[in-house]
Structure 1
Amino acid sequence: MNGERLGPYQLLSRLGAGGFGEVHLALDSEGRTVAVKVLHPHVAADGGALARLAREVETMRRVGGPHVAEVLDASLEGARPYLVTRYVQGRPLSAVPVPVADLRSLATGLADALLAVHEAGVVHRDLKPANVMMTEGDPVVIDFGIASALDSLSVTASGAVVGTPGYLAPEVLEGGVVGPEADVFSFGATLAYAATGRHPYGQGPPSAVAYRAVHHEPDLEGVPGWLEPLLRECLATDPAARPTAARICARLGVDATPPARRLSRFSMGTARREESDVHHLSTREWQPGRGPKAESAELSRARHRERVRRRWLIGSGLFMSLLAAAAQEPLPEVALFLLAAFTLAVVADAGVALATRGPFRKSRIIADFTGVAGTLGISLALSAFFSTPVLALFAGTALVVGIVFVLSA
Structure 2
Amino acid sequence: MTVHRVADADGVEWTYDDHKTIGDPGGMGSVFEGAGRDGTPVAVKRVRLPYPGVSAERRRDREVQISELLLHTKQSGNETSHLVVPLSFQFVDEDLYIVMPKGDESLGHALRTRPFDLPSGVQVVRQIALGLEQLAAGSIVHRDLKPDNVLRFGSTWKITDFGLSKNLSEGPVTVSLAAWGTEAYTAPELWRNEPALPRSDLYALGVLACEVFTGARPFPGPSGEYRRQHLQDPPPDLRELPPRLARLTLRLLAKNPAERPQDARAVVEAIDAYARGLRRDQEALVDAALDLERARANGRAGEAAATDRAAQAEALRLEAISELGDVLANAHDDVHEALPDARIDRAAHEILIAGLRIAFETSEPLRLSAVADPGGSVLTGVVRLVPPHGPAQLGEVFAHLAYLPGSDGRRRWTYTGPDATDTDRRTLDDGAVLTIVRTALAAAAHVRKVGRA
TM-score above 0.5: yes
Distance 2:91 2:38 in 1: 22
- Matched residues in 2 for 1:24 and 1:9: separation? 12
After TM superposition, the structure 1 stretch with the greater mean CA deviation from structure 2, 24-33 or 188-197, is 24-33
Superposed counterparts of 1:5-404, under 5 Å: 5-7=5-7, 8-12=13-17, 13-16=20-23, 17-40=25-48, 43=50, 48-63=55-70, 65-78=80-93, 80-96=95-111, 97=113, 99-101=115-117, 102-152=120-170, 160=178, 162-204=180-222, 206-219=223-236, 220-243=238-261, 244-253=263-272
Amino acid at match of 1:51: R
Q: Deviations over 1:333-380 (max 9, x none)?
A: xxxxxxxxxxxxxxxxxxxxxxxxxxxxxxxxxxxxxxxxxxxxxxxx
Q: CA deviation at 1:106?
A: 0.5
SS of 2:269's equivalent in the other structure is helix
Write the distance in 2 (CA, Å) between the matches of 1:238 and 1:47. 33
Partners of 1:32 and 1:138 lie apart in 2 by 18
Between the aligned partners of 2:226 and 2:28, the Cα distance in structure 1 is 26
Amino acid in the other structure paired with 2:194: G
The answer to whether the Cα contact below 8 Å between 2:106 and 2:147 also exists between their aligned partners in 1 is no
Query: Structure 2: how far apart are the matches of 1:31 and 1:94?
Result: 25
Query: 1:215 corresponds to which letter in structure 2?
Result: Q
TM-score norm. by structure 1 comes to: 0.56
CA distance in structure 1 between the partners assigned to 2:155 and 2:234 by the alignment? 30
Contact 1:57 1:71 in 2 (8 A): no
The answer as to whether partners of 1:38 and 1:83 remain within 8 angstroms in 2 is yes
Which SS does the other structure have where 1:4 is aligned?
Answer: strand
Higher relative contact order (CA 8 A, sep 6+): 1
- 1:203-262 superposed Cα distances (whole Å, 9 cap, x missing partner): 32x2312211111211234333341111111111111111111211222239xxxxxxxx
Q: TM-score, normalised by structure 2?
A: 0.51
* 99 and 212 in structure 1: CA distance in 2 versus 1, 3 angstrom threshold: same
Shift of 1:30: 4.5
Are 2:176 and 2:193, in contact at CA under 8 Å, matched by a contact in 1?
Answer: no
| Contact 1:125-1:182 at 8 Å conserved across structures | yes
Distance 1:184 1:70 in 2: 21
More helix per residue: 1
Contact kept in structure 1, 2:88 and 2:100, CA below 8 Å: yes
SS at structure 2 position matched to 1:34: strand
CA distance in 2, matches of 1:159, 1:66: 30
Cα displacement (A) at 1:153: 5.6
User: Displacement of 1:48 after TM fit?
Assistant: 4.4
CA contact (8 A) 2:31 2:45 kept: yes
Q: Distance in 2 between matches of 1:92 and 1:44?
A: 31
- C-alpha distance in 2 between matches for 1:174 and 1:187: 19
Deviations 1:90-131 (A, max 9, x none): 133355345422112102111111101111100001111222
Identity over the aligned pairs, expressed in percent? Answer: 26
1:123/1:148 contact within 8 Å kept? yes
Q: Render the CA deviation track for 1:3-42: whole Å, top value 9, x for unaligned.
A: 23223211144324322132122223444322111234x6
2:116 partner letter: V
Measure, in 2, the Cα distance between the counterparts of 1:23 and 1:74: 13
Q: Does the 8 A contact of 2:174 with 2:196 survive in 1?
A: no
8 Å contact from structure 2 (residues 175, 190) kept in 1: no
Structure 1 residue runs of 5 or longer lacking an equivalent are 255-409
SS in 2 for 1:83: strand
How many residue pairs match? The answer is 252
* Closer/same/farther in 2, CA of residues 159 and 19 from structure 1, 3 Å limit: closer
SS at match of 2:134: helix
In the superposition, relative to structure 1, how do residues 233 and 89 fare at CA in structure 2: closer, same or farther (>3 Å)?
same
Give the number of the structure whose residues are more often strand, by fraction.
2
Distance of 1:158 and 1:197 partners within structure 2: 29
C-alpha distance in 2, partners of 1:39/1:202? Answer: 30
Tell me, yes or no, if the aligned pair for 1:122 and 1:150 is still in contact at 8 Å: yes
Distance 1:133 1:117 in 2: 16
One-letter amino acid matched to 1:218: P
Which is greater in Rg? 2
Give the letter aligned to residue 216 of structure 1.
D
Partner letter of residue 143 of structure 1?
D
Q: Judging changes above 3 Å, is the alpha-carbon distance between structure 1 residues 50 and 26 closer, same or farther for their aligned structure 2 residues?
A: farther
Cα offsets for 1:161-180 (capped at 9, x unmatched): 62222311110111112211
Please give the alpha-carbon distance, in whole angstroms, between the structure 1 residues aligned to 2:27 and 2:265.
Answer: 33
Q: Cα distance 1:14–1:195, how it changes in 2: closer, same or farther (>3 A)? A: same
SS state at 1:176 partner: coil
**Mind listing any 5+ residue stretches in structure 2 that lack a counterpart?**
8-12, 75-79, 274-453
Cα contact 1:105–1:138 (8 A) shared by 2: no
